[in-house]
Amino acid sequence: MRTLYSSAQIAERVRELGDELARVYAGRPLTVVGVLHGSVVLVADLIRAMPIPHQIAFVRASSYRGETTTGTNLQTSLEGLPDVAGRDVLLIDDIFDTGRTLSALAASINALGPASLRTAVLLWKVDRREVAATPDYYGFRIPDEFVIGYGLDYNGNYRNLPEIAVMEPGDL
The 10 Å Cβ neighbour count of residue 118 is 17
What's the whole-model pTM score? 0.91
Q: What are phi and psi of 158, to 5 degrees?
A: 80, 0
Output the pLDDT for position 120.
Answer: 98
| Active site annotation includes 127 | no
pLDDT in tens, 105-128: 999 999 999 999 999 999 999 998
State the average pLDDT over residues 91-107.
94
Which structural domains are found in the chain, ordered by start? 8-143 (3.40.50.2020)
Sheet with strand 164-166: strands edge to edge: 2-5, 164-166, 147-148
Mean pLDDT over each residue of the chain, to the nearest integer: 92
**Strand-pair partners of 166:** 2, 147
DSSP helix/strand/coil, 46: helix
pLDDT in tens, 18-44: 999 999 999 999 999 999 999 999 999
What's the CA gap between 16 and 46, in Å, rounded? 9
Identified catalytic residue from 97, 127, 136, 171: 97
